[in-house]
Amino acid sequence: MSDLADAGAERPDLRLVDEARHRLLDMISSGALRPGDKLGTERELAAALSVSRSTLRQVLAVLAQSGVVRRVPGRAGGTARASWRALRCCQRR
């Protein structure tokens, strides 16, 4: 088993973040979310992915760091937008 898989087995929260990240990428690659679309508020997106807002923030941080989403601060705590890079990334999977 790889070190990453071992870490996921020891830390269920990491596995949950990874699963939620994959679900969000699937939403983008399937066309449910298009590049430039607003992803919604943290509360809405967390509910759509069936995760806590804390877990969602971790997912968005990972995806923003890799350039897949662009976070846009707003009055309600921030939103994110799917980027064109997200679509290209998902098409190569």
- CATH number, domain with residue 67: 1.10.10.10
β-pairing, 79-82 vs 38-41, is antiparallel
What mean pLDDT do residues 13-21 have?
Answer: 87
pLDDT tens, 53-93?
999 999 988 888 888 888 777 655 455 666 666 656 555 54
Mean pLDDT, the chain, whole residue set: 75
**DSSP assignments along 13-49, one per residue:** HHHHHHHHHHHHHHHHHTTSS-TT-EEEEHHHHHHHH
The pLDDT value recorded for residue 75 is 53
Q: How many CB atoms lie within 10 A of CB 60?
A: 22
pLDDT value of position 4: 47
Range of the domain at 60: 3-91
For residues 21-39, give the mean pLDDT: 82
Q: Residue 1's pLDDT band (boundaries 50, 70, 90)?
A: very low
Count of domains for the chain: 1
Pairwise CA distance, residues 66 & 51, whole Å: 21
